[in-house]
């Protein structure tokens, strides 16, 4: 009985961990990684995609955020 309880407890803990997401430029394949950010262009490591400025563009090809897709 206590074992089952511990298992369900672990599952809850895992669910609560925020998973860093990655987004891929559909034009050139550049990957924006939330964990790494884009420090060369003023985006600090750990910046969530929704917190990246709307005027940020792909450092490789210059397209905007709307041309990025989430990598699963």
- Which position among 20, 44, 61, 71 is part of the footprint of Zn ion (CB under 5 A)? 61
Eight-state DSSP code of residue 44: -
Nearer CB in complex with Zn ion: 21/65: 65
What is the C-alpha separation between 68 and 54, in angstroms, rounded? 12
Binding residues with Zn ion: total (CB under 5 A): 7
Q: How far out from the chain centre does Cα 2 lie?
A: 36
The contact pattern for Zn ion, residues 6-45, with x = CB under 5 A and - = no contact, is -------------------x-xx-x---------------
């Amino acid at each position: 009985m206590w074992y089952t309880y511990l298992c369900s407890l672990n599952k809850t803990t895992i669910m609560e961990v925020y998973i860093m997401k990655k987004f891929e430029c559909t034009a050139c394949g550049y990957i924006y990684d939330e964990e790494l950010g884009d420090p060369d262009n003023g985006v600090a490591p750990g910046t969530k995609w929704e917190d990246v400025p709307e005027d940020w563009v792909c450092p490789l090809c210059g397209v905007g955020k709307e041309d990025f897709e989430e990598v699963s």
